[in-house]
Amino acid sequence: MITDTFNSRTLANMEVALERACLLLPTGGEKHRARRIIAGKIIECANRGEITLSRLTEVGYAAAMQLGAPAQPVREKEAAD
């Protein structure tokens, strides 16, 4: 299980990176599949020991872009905060 592999700080960084990358995704039926792919890339990165938030976010953004996400993130969640 993933919680057995990484410490709590790394897991938190991974979660934030995933959420940031998913802001790039359009809404729709394929979003769940795209989240799984992005999460897989983030996990691969963390397994290589690259666990900083900036690096995990960079990898997440790159994965989202490969999936055809637009260059600018959707800022609805950030604007609501």
pLDDT tens, 22-81?
Answer: 999 887 768 899 999 999 999 999 999 999 999 999 999 999 999 887 665 555 444 443
What is the pLDDT confidence band of residue 1, given thresholds at 50, 70 and 90?
A: confident
pLDDT of 81: 38
Note the pTM of the prediction, 2 decimals: 0.81
Range of the domain at 43: 2-71
Cβ atoms within 10 A of the Cβ of 50, count? 14
DSSP string, 28-67: STTHHHHHHHHHHHHHHHHHTT---HHHHHHHHHHHHHHT
Asked whether residue 79 is domain-assigned, the answer is no
Instruction: Flag whether 57 is in a domain.
Output: yes
CA angle 74, 20, 2 (to 5 degrees): 145
Residue 26 lies in a domain: yes
Domain-embedded: residue 47: yes
Q: Is residue 78 part of a domain?
A: no
Query: Does residue 54 lie within any of the structural domains?
Result: yes
Give me the number of domains the chain comprises: 1
